[in-house]
Amino acid sequence: MSLTLVEKIWNNHVVKDYGDGNFLVYIDRIFLHERTGSIALKSIEENNRSVKNPRRVFSTIDHIVDTFPGRNDETLMPNGSIFIKSFRDSIKKEGINFFDLDNEHQGISHVVSPEQGIALPGITYICPDSHTCSLGALGSMAWGVGSSECEHALITNTLLLKKPKMMEVTFEGQLPEGVTSKDLILYLISKYGGFSLSVLTLLLFNRFVIDPLTGLKAFDRRLLNKLDLKSNGVELETEIIARLSQAQKYILEVPVEYQPRLKSEGKKITIRDGLQALLNLLKMRFLDRR
């Protein structure tokens, strides 16, 4: 049976299979920005460690810095200059490749990377930012990580991971002019992603929640304190739903008006996020009952 691109890249980068579903995977390239990258680098410095391979780490300033002409380290964001200056100092100490504000190649992390040939087909690539997976369009295995994971990768050039699950989707027919693979995947997510989680929530916990992944929900703080939550990120809301359902609490969803982001502005929720939420619901129902 033929392998997918992800499977080929994965097989070429596995350092060790621990036999329990966990794999140590080699990370080819890391990209940092001043918001979360500064946290990872500061932690490395405080623990008297160093970046293993600074030549394969790249960085720029793009998250906190202002967008006005003539901008500098001073920002509209309160204390933003602290992040920028700390980041720059750490970058220089570690000898990391850096596109500073006065560099002609400075720009948005996920734009700089393909422009400068940093993200390439066949490599593993991480950045502490949720939009990193967009670089998969270039044939790289790219994903966003947290500051702690980024710190581990900077020190060891590896990450402890579980192998991504594969899902085959077949589209039939002729694509209209102007419709690309990006349009197909956005349609797939919008039609089946959220609704599947709603149905699963109903089947597992007898609660139908319209938006179990990204809905904005308000809860009494005293109630949340009693739930003893363990999850974070996209799994947090699914755990809240599971815990409240197990405690026989009623969940009321109230519609609100808001201005959604346009497709051209990108979406932070990916298929990977949806699968994580789905697996978390199953875990809450069958493995972690209370």
Instruction: Express each pLDDT in 66-90 by its tens digit.
Output: 888 888 888 888 888 888 999 999 9
Task: Return d(Cα 246, Cα 198) in angstroms, integer.
Answer: 16
118 and 40 together in one domain? yes
108 and 221 together in one domain? no
- Among 110, 135, 162, the domain-final residue is 162
Whole-number pLDDT of residue 12:
97
Residue 129 contacts residue 40 (beta carbons within 8 Å)? no
Q: What spatial distance separates the first Cα and last Cα of the chain, rounded to whole Å?
A: 42
Which domain does 231 fall in, by range? 181-286
pTM of the model: 0.68
121 and 66 together in one domain? yes
149 and 282 together in one domain? no
Residue 259 pLDDT more than 70? no
- Among 112, 128, 162, the domain-final residue is 162
The residue that leads in pLDDT, 199 or 30, is: 30
> For 227-241, what is the mean pLDDT?
71
Residue 174 lies in a domain: no
Closest CA to 258 of 206, 290, 222, 214: 214
15 and 151 together in one domain? yes
Of 160-169, 225-234, 269-278, highest mean pLDDT = 160-169
Closest CA to 167 of 191, 201, 193: 193
Whole-number pLDDT of residue 257:
58
∠ CA 181-168-7, nearest 5°, is: 95
Number of domains in the chain: 2
CB atoms near residue 192 (< 10 Å)? 13
Residue 21 lies in a domain: yes
133 and 215 together in one domain? no
Residue 195 lies in a domain: yes
Domain CATH for 64? 3.30.499.10
- Among 162, 195, 220, the domain-final residue is 162
The CA–CA distances, whole Å, from 285 to 175, 212, 225, 242, 271 equal 40, 15, 20, 7, 21
The CA–CA distances, whole Å, from 257 to 216, 254, 260, 262, 267 equal 11, 10, 9, 15, 18
141 and 207 together in one domain? no
Residue 9 contacts residue 120 (beta carbons within 8 Å)? no
Above pLDDT 70, what percent of the chain?
76
Q: How confident is the model at residue 204 (pLDDT cuts 50, 70, 90)?
A: confident
Whole-number pLDDT of residue 127:
94
The residue that leads in pLDDT, 167 or 172, is: 172
114 and 197 together in one domain? no
Residue 169 lies in a domain: no
193 and 154 together in one domain? no
Residue 17 backbone dihedrals phi, psi, to 5 degrees: -100, 115
Residue 201 lies in a domain: yes
Average pLDDT, the chain: 83
The residue that leads in pLDDT, 116 or 268, is: 116
158 and 22 together in one domain? yes
Task: Return d(Cα 221, Cα 218) in angstroms, integer.
Answer: 9
Residue 264 pLDDT more than 60? no
102 and 239 together in one domain? no
227 and 193 together in one domain? yes
Residue 153 lies in a domain: yes
Residue 164 pLDDT more than 70? yes
